[in-house]
Chain A
């Protein structure tokens, strides 16, 4: 069937989804002590990563459907009355994200071995992390609209618990001057609720779109739908479906005016939650756009591509400007996610091979870089008990050299320094937008130009952070005595933390130097996706 190494059969796909979920169930069922629980988590997520690697090897080479079938495919009857199959598959679009998810979950579990949140049982947190992994892997592997939707929703409840239960109580909610939101449990609950309610509203609309596609075309099979390329759907139906689907997925992505759930959720979530939110959950939205909207309702997406592109670039600029005035480091990283995902949306809206390639690349790069940044900021925050830029010690370069360098690396990667992963995705997305006359029409050039300006804004706000924290004037700690005062001992990143972060650093460099390793995987898939579009 394929030229790949047949390490594992199609059953591996089901196991990939079931293993983390089963691990979560076991951890929930048995209240294991923290030490054992984290070890179970590391074991299970490690096995999942190994299995994902084996499955990826077996699925290679990644010539995607509709030209050929996905490299690995599992197809079981599930709900015959609705024509729903438990259809899972691994192809060039899903492989990078599956690997990214498995890697980030393993790192998060490893991170939890030593660094644990203040409140709540760690076993439950590990269980939630594994459940999120299972749901995310299910979403990335699903080749059926209903299975996709079920998996898409699976991540919500565990993530809600991660934020609401293990969130940072000490987070000073007043990150903006004059804001007086309550802290503690109330703030956690609010952030978690906002996250879930935004997403559920979006996904309910998305469900209507999925149903419309399913009812009008008579199938829920994504392979079949992609092969038809929307030819059996009238333009009106496609446009309505595209609007509903994009609305639902854009909440998750998040797209500019719908992103307001993101800053509090990312800021209040524990480090593990922030990494997963940025690295995995946001990808569900953009992945859904690439997997479901682009191939299934291409003409419909073409109709609304200008709007999507405009909102995407608005997000790039707005979030970039907001980062300038943001005083909380963790919130700043969260806001920068909105900007990065804006590039991904622009790339998708362009509906060009370059743009989609860029979107998929930026997806992965953002997962790696923002994951790294959240780990670093989490470490900084744990040491200072605050993430407010004004209160953090300056001159990290000399005081905490390892953390300082990791932060500098993350920031440079985040601003899109050539040679690091962040560069290629955004470059390709802008290139795609420039050449996107057919989809975005008259606004394609302005969008491209504005997105390019957005990269400059990103450079400016990240360099501002570095100027403050990395250099800083002298070694005098700026923190007032109430936060520990001067003279307290603050340790550098431990070996454990460095080990956890190094894979992300290595992957960022590898993708930056050799973007082809990812582009060659996604390339055929992207060409196949766009083949259906006229």
Chain B
């Protein structure tokens, strides 16, 4: 109990659930151990690989531990009962509220996003271990774990300050990761990323300030209650709306939403390949977590303001991404533009929330206070899960291939020509992942993803957005198929080079390191599993949002 200076005792309780914070805390712990190992390790460890192995092991263990904590929390009584663990909360007796104000909540939404982020981070780390980016283990692992921590924290953040801090924690270390190639394109990529991040932070801070001004609170729950109040005066509502738009702009860059997507191709091309993979899956999942938490949990009562904007941004994003991707001849740039397009798909379902009636209808369940936009958010997250699985599988193959072709050609699509003959397994994984991204069977996962992304729009009657998105499917198919076709194309005869002998064809010549093999296997397994059982992406968040 804290006494305030006004003489009147203002009671406040503050509660922290350490179990609820475990998924976020464990990567930090791992980060510290990596630093300690580096500081304290005896010299003879440094000579060999022992130190590097230990640092790899600690980082992986920290992530796996976070994963185990997520699984453990999922089984906690609160969540089994359909509720949430209130991890960091305060009660202020003076305000007369029975419910606590929470900065960090472990709900089904939190855990779903955290599970996805941890899984994607583990695979990204496995990919990174043998790459150029991780030559400096300490720098790489520390930055990596810090960024993952930020991403994990975003999933549970329920006030604007936590959200901003977590978003920056997820972004700024990633800037460092991008620069780890230590060459000019790397520096350029990192700087582009950094500028975008800083400008976006400014926008987000401005938006948060306006929301605070309009609603008097930084807690998302209070903001949603205040905004849902029909008695809110018009001018106040206008300030809130402006704050909402600025906040959307501030988090949009993280998922590469147009027009905040321009950093993506340069940064992906400049970053070490595994870091590009990290950016395209973990970082994007973090961005979506921020958007979902902000819009789906906090600002959905004013969905009428932002839903049309999100819809327009989604359509513009996917169109721009697809159209530019059509002309790309560099694998990483094609993937970068395709992730821009996919970002449009990821936020697309949120555009369905513009119609207040449909929100109430699609919520299915009226919570203690208000109905929640569960359907649209579940669709967004479901699409994200499918995208992350396919993106990881594709990037895993790209990373391994880049090591096996001459340096000058490492990124060109032409180096994929005839891959099916040289590396049937890798080509099959890449082809399958690309078809998943395109949403064509046998990539059933991608098709179901598109289906669940369009479903809320059709239900909410957002026809313009829905039709525009549907037409974009064909654009995407064009370039994914172009790449897939190269995999099985006949190799071009090399003029003056060694003759291609059929006897050697089909014999694997890659030396895939165990960690990379695991990463490819995990990506492929996820794609196949989700394609066979799409329920896993269609049936997320059965108990609503908190």
* Least distance between A120 CB and chain B CB atoms (Å): 8
Contact in complex: B474, A215 (CB < 8 Å): no
Q: Does A31 contact B (CB under 8 A)?
A: yes
User: Using Cβ atoms and an 8 Å threshold, which residues of chain A touch B490?
Assistant: 119-120
A212 close to B488 (CB less than 8 A) = no
Query: In the complex, A488→B369 CA distance in Å?
Result: 87
Contact of A207 with B477 at beta-carbon distance under 8 Å, contacts A78-B535, A153-B441, A165-B488 already known: no
Interface-located stretch among A65-73, A79-87, A292-300: A79-87
Q: Does B539 contact A (CB under 8 A)?
A: yes
Determine whether the beta carbon of A153 is less than 8 Å from that of B471. no
Does A161 interact with chain B (Cβ within 8 Å)? Answer: yes
In chain B between 414 and 467, which residues have their CB closer than 8 angstroms to a CB of chain A? 424, 435, 440-442, 444, 447-448, 450-452, 454-455, 458-459, 466-467
Interface residues of B in 521-546 (CB under 8 A from A): 534-535, 538-540, 542
Note all chain A residues with C-beta closer than 8 A to B477.
196-197, 200
Q: If the complex has contacts A193-B481, A212-B458, are A157 and B466 also in contact, measured as CB distance less than 8 A? A: no
- Is B485 on the interface with A (CB-CB < 8 A)? yes
A461 to B: closest C-beta gap in Å: 33
Within the complex, the shortest CB–CB distance from A13 to chain B, in Å, comes to: 18
Q: A208, B467: Cβ atoms under 8 Å?
A: yes
One digit per residue, 1 when the CB lies within 8 angstroms of any chain A CB and 0 when it does not, for chain B 472-488 equals 01100110010011001
Cβ of A355 < 8 Å from any Cβ of B?
A: no
B506 contacts partner chain A, Cβ-Cβ < 8 Å = yes
Please report the C-alpha to C-alpha distance between residue A119 and residue B490 in the assembled complex, in whole angstroms: 10
- 0/1 string, A154-166, CB within 8 A of B gives 1: 1011001100110
- State the CA gap A146–B435 with chains docked (Å): 18
Chain A residues, CB < 8 A from B481: 157, 160, 193, 196
* B370 interfacial by beta-carbon distance below 8 Å: no
Q: Contact at B467–A79, with CB atoms within 8 Å?
A: no
Across the interface, which residues of A come within 8 angstroms of B11, CB to CB? none
Nearest-neighbor residue (CB-CB) of A160 within chain B: B481
For A119, list chain B residues within 8 Å (CB).
490
CB nearest to A201 among chain B residues = B474
List chain A positions with a Cβ less than 8 A from chain B.
Answer: 29, 31, 78-82, 119-120, 124, 135, 146, 149-151, 153-154, 156-157, 160-161, 164-165, 189, 193, 196-197, 200-201, 204-205, 207-208, 211-212, 215
Residue of A nearest to B469 (CB): A204
Are the CB atoms of A204 and B485 closer together than 8 Å?
A: no
Jot down 27 A-B pairs with beta carbons below 8 A, ordered by A.
A79-B448, A80-B535, A81-B535, A81-B538, A82-B452, A82-B538, A146-B448, A149-B447, A149-B451, A150-B448, A151-B441, A153-B447, A156-B441, A161-B488, A164-B485, A165-B485, A165-B489, A197-B474, A201-B470, A201-B471, A201-B473, A204-B473, A207-B470, A208-B458, A211-B455, A211-B458, A215-B459
Contact count band on B: 35 or more
With a cutoff of 8 Å between Cβ atoms, the chain A residues found around residue B441 in the complex are: 135, 150-151, 153-154, 156-157
Given contacts A150-B444, A153-B447, A212-B458, contact A204 B478 (CB under 8 A): no
Please measure, in the bound complex, the distance between the C-alpha atom of A120 and the C-alpha atom of B488, giving whole angstroms: 10
- Of A154, A164, A197, A200, the most chain B CB neighbours within 10 A belong to A200
User: Could you say which residues of chain A place their CB within 8 Å of the CB of B442?
Assistant: 154, 157
Q: Is A150 a contact partner of B447 (Cβ separation < 8 A)?
A: yes
Instruction: Check A79 against B458 for contact (C-beta < 8 Å).
Output: no
Which residues of chain B from 3 to 39 have any CB-CB distance to chain A below 8 Å in the complex?
none
**B474 touching A204, Cβ below 8 Å:** yes
Q: How far is the CA of A81 from the CA of B470 in the complex (A)?
A: 22
* B468 CB, min distance to chain A CBs, angstroms: 11
**How would you classify the secondary structure of chain B's contact residues: helix, strand, loop or mixed?**
helix
- Complex Cα–Cα for A80 and B533 (A): 10
A80, B478: Cβ atoms closer than 8 Å: no
**Chain B residue nearest to A25 in the complex (CB):** B442
Which residues of chain B come closer than 8 Å to A212, judged between CB atoms? 458
Which of chain A's residues have a CB closer than 8 A to the CB of B451? 82, 146, 149, 207, 211
- Contact in complex: B471, A211 (CB < 8 Å): no
* 12 additional contacts (CB under 8 A) given A81-B535, A151-B441: A29-B424, A78-B535, A79-B535, A81-B538, A149-B451, A150-B444, A153-B447, A161-B485, A200-B440, A204-B450, A204-B470, A212-B458
Across the interface, B474 reaches (CB within 8 A) one of A165, A189, A200, namely: A200
Instruction: Give the chain B neighbours of A156 by CB distance below 8 A.
Output: 440-441
The distance in angstroms between the C-alpha atoms of A101 and B85, with both chains bound, is 56
Cβ of A281 to closest chain B Cβ, rounded Å = 14
Which residue on A lies nearest to B443, using beta carbons?
A157
Q: Which 4 A-B pairs have the closest CB atoms?
A: A81-B539, A204-B470, A154-B441, A81-B538
B454 and A211 contact, CB distance less than 8 A: yes
Chain A: CB-nearest residue to B478: A197
Cα distance A189–B477 in the bound complex, in angstroms: 14
Contact, CB under 8 Å: B474 / A207: no
Residue of B nearest to A21 (CB): B442
Check A79–B534 contact: CB distance below 8 A.
Answer: yes
B474 cross-chain contacts in A, Cβ below 8 A = 197, 200-201, 204
User: How far does the Cβ of B111 sit from chain A's closest Cβ, in whole Å?
Assistant: 17
Contact A200 B459, CB 8 Å, known A150-B447, A153-B441, A164-B485: no
A172 CB → nearest B CB, Å? 22
> CA–CA, A165 to B481, complex, Å?
13
The interface residues of chain A lying within 8 Å CB-to-CB of B471 are 201, 204
How far apart sit A31 and B503, CA to CA, in the bound complex (Å)?
13
Residues of A within 8 Å of B444, CB to CB, are 150
Residue of A nearest to B466 (CB): A208
- Which chain A residue has the least Cβ–Cβ distance from B484? A157
Is B538 touching A79 in the complex (CB atoms < 8 A)?
A: yes
A211, chain B: closest CB distance, angstroms: 4
Give, as a whole number of angstroms, the nearest-CB distance from B35 to chain A: 44
Distance in Å: Cβ of B367 to nearest Cβ of chain A:
20
Query: In the bound complex, how far is the Cα of B441 from the Cα of A135, in angstroms?
Result: 9
- With contacts A154-B442, A157-B441, A211-B454 taken as known, whether A205 is within 8 angstroms of B448 at the C-beta atoms is no
Cα distance, A205 to B474, chains bound together (Å)? 11
Contact A153–B538 (Cβ < 8 Å): no
Contact between chains at B435 and A157 (CB < 8 Å): yes
The interface residues of chain B lying within 8 Å CB-to-CB of A215 are: 455, 458-459
Among residues 242 to 264 in chain B, which have CB atoms less than 8 Å away from a CB atom of chain A?
none
A residues near B478, Cβ cutoff 8 Å: 193, 197
- Cα distance A193–B448 in the bound complex, in angstroms: 23
Q: Which residue of B lies closest to A241 (CB)?
A: B458
**Residues of B with C-beta under 8 A to A31:** 506
Interface residues in B207-222 (C-beta closer than 8 Å to A): none
Chain B residue, CB-CB nearest to A81: B539
Report chain A residues within 8 Å CB of B454. Answer: 207-208, 211
What B residues does A197 contact at CB under 8 A?
474, 477-478
Please measure, in the bound complex, the distance between the C-alpha atom of A207 and the C-alpha atom of B453, giving whole angstroms: 11
- Once bound together, how far apart are the Cα atoms of A29 and B431, in whole Å? 13
CA distance A154 to B439 in the complex (A): 11
In the complex, what distance in Å separates the CA atom of A162 from the CA atom of B442? 16
B431 to chain A, nearest CB (A): 9
Q: How far is the CA of A193 from the CA of B479 in the complex (A)?
A: 10
Across-interface contacts of A78 in B (CB, < 8 A) = 534-535
Alpha-carbon separation in the docked complex, A345 to B68 (Å): 58
Min C-beta distance of A268 to chain B, whole Å: 15
User: Which residues of A have CB within 8 Å of B488?
Assistant: 124, 161, 165
In the complex, the chain B residue whose C-beta lies closest to that of A203 is B473
> Given the complex, which residues of B lie within 8 Å of A151, measured CB to CB?
441
Q: Is the CB of A157 within 8 A of B473?
A: no
Separation of A153 and B438 alpha carbons in the complex (Å): 12
Q: Is the CB of B470 within 8 A of A157?
A: no
Asked if B539 contacts A80 (CB within 8 A), the reply is: yes
Give A31 to B427 CA distance when docked, in angstroms: 14
Residues 52-85 of chain B: 1 if any A CB is under 8 Å from the residue's CB, otherwise 0? 0000000000000000000000000000000000
B539 x A79 contact (CB < 8 A): yes
Alpha-carbon distance A80/B539, docked complex (angstroms): 8
Contacts A80-B535, A200-B474 given; indicate if A153 touches B450 (C-beta within 8 A). no
CA distance in complex: A82, B466 (Å): 19
Bound form: Cα–Cα A193–B542 in Å: 40
Interface centre among A79, A80, A119, A197 (most CB of B within 10 A): A79
